[in-house]
Chain A
Amino acid sequence: DQQVKQNSPSLSVQEGRISILNCDYTNSMFDYFLWYKKYPAEGPTFLISISSIKDKNEDGRFTVFLNKSAKHLSLHIVPSQPGDSAVYFCAASVNNNDMRFGAGTRLTVKP
């Protein structure tokens, strides 16, 4: 059962522009949402998170938006940099337990 879905396997953007990565979920009980970044041959690295009581969380160039009614999550990176090129995973959990991951979106930022 795919409770967290990332429907775009890949995304390519120009350096300096905005990258928008999307994620949809089906379980309305999820109350904590996270984005992880993964480089080749490394484990996922935590990037940013948001609680279900919020609709936006910002950390530098990274902003996560949560639309609970649409069960949709997005990550905005602005401005995008070549070093942001990686696979991005969306994840969600209930009471910080049983975390479910999407299949990932490969972001390529072109110089």
Chain B
Amino acid sequence: DTGVSQNPRHKITKRGQNVTFRCDPISEHNRLYWYRQTLGQGPEFLTYFQNEAQLEKSRLLSDRFSAERPKGSFSTLEIQRTEQGDSAMYLCASDSAGGKNQPQHFGDGTRLSIL
């Protein structure tokens, strides 16, 4: 059973650097979500894709953040000019559109630490 896979698991970088994370969803899922989670909080929605189309973006997603899903399979989340406040766990989830009331399945996340 190949669940949602995220790489890298942990990223440490200096403030001002660019970082890119990758998410591979469950293969039969056509919807893919990115969330951010900080200590003591639940996941906060950032953006989601249905196939290759980015359908919604949260206002949390500043212009330093960009996400792509070029072939409707894996997705990348890039953060440019990282800031201290970007330190968080970035979670990816996937599910299938069309079926009513299906749970999202999460990966184990990428923990970003900004020095």
Contacts and interface: CB of A to CB of B under 8 A. Distances in A.
Interface stretch (B14-22, B65-73, B103-111): B103-111
Nearest to A31: B101
Contacts of A32: 101
A91 B45 CA distance: 12
- What's the dominant secondary structure at chain A's contact region? strand
Nearest to A98: B45
Interface residues of B, number: 23
Q: What class of interface size applies to chain A in its complex with B?
A: 20 to 34
B102 interface: yes
Complex A-B, nearest 8 residue pairs according to Cβ-Cβ distance, in ascending order: A101-B42, A43-B106, A46-B103, A43-B108, A44-B106, A32-B101, A101-B43, A89-B42
Interface of B: 4, 6, 33, 40-45, 56, 91, 93, 95, 100-109
